[in-house]
Amino acid sequence: MSGKIGVRSPQQNLAGFLSWEQTAQGFDVYVSGPLSQGATRIIGNSHQVKIEQNGRTMRGVDPQQLIEENLGWPFPIENLPFWLKGKTAPNRQVANIEKDGNRLSSFSQDGWQVNYLRYNAYYELPERIRISQGDWRFTIIIKNWSV
């Protein structure tokens, strides 16, 4: 999928372009624009991750920890492949589930509140998602799906 991402943190509001490719083996995320002061690529799976940014490469075994340490924001990257498709992450507790027909409209999982603000009528996949935790809010606007 590709689209835009907005990040609201306690210190600032940022926006950028987002490209996410998900395979059975892992993910390849590319963020460009003001959000990353250029471009950031995050490649990995649930066991390892690599972040490429401004000519530097950082590696680690905990994707969420490496992202927070190097980019400065908590980002639920392990749950996002499911949340982007309008689903909850498997094998994790879910609370406050609300639905609109067969579609999820909101839920809480792993300390994050996920709200689906709009779905694509053709693909029946999310087009606008808000993910928040405390003072952090991520808004993802999906422009293109490649299914």
73 alpha carbon, distance to own chain's centre: 12
Beta bridge partners of 114: 107, 131
pLDDT score of 36 more than 60 = no
CB atoms within 10 A of CB 41: 16
pLDDT score of 83 more than 70 = yes
* Alpha-carbon gap, residue 137 to 114, rounded angstroms: 10
Mean pLDDT score, 105-126: 94
In the chain, the domains with their CATH numbers are 2-144 (2.50.20.10)
DSSP H helical ranges for 45-134: 63-71, 80-83
Work out the mean pLDDT of the chain and round it to a whole number: 89
Note the pLDDT of residue 145: 87
Mean pLDDT score, 127-142: 95
Q: Answer whether 42's CB lies under 8 Å from 62's CB.
A: no
* Half-sphere exposure at residue 99, Cβ-oriented, CA atoms within 13 angstroms: 5
Mean pLDDT score, 61-84: 86
Q: Answer whether 77's CB lies under 8 Å from 83's CB.
A: no
Note the pLDDT of residue 39: 86
In the chain, beta strands by DSSP E: 2-8, 13-22, 27-33, 38-44, 49-53, 56-60, 94-100, 103-109, 112-119, 126-133, 136-144
Note the pLDDT of residue 107: 97
pTM score: 0.88
DSSP state of 23: -
Mean pLDDT score, 2-25: 89
* Alpha-carbon gap, residue 44 to 78, rounded angstroms: 10
Note the pLDDT of residue 131: 97
Note the pLDDT of residue 63: 83
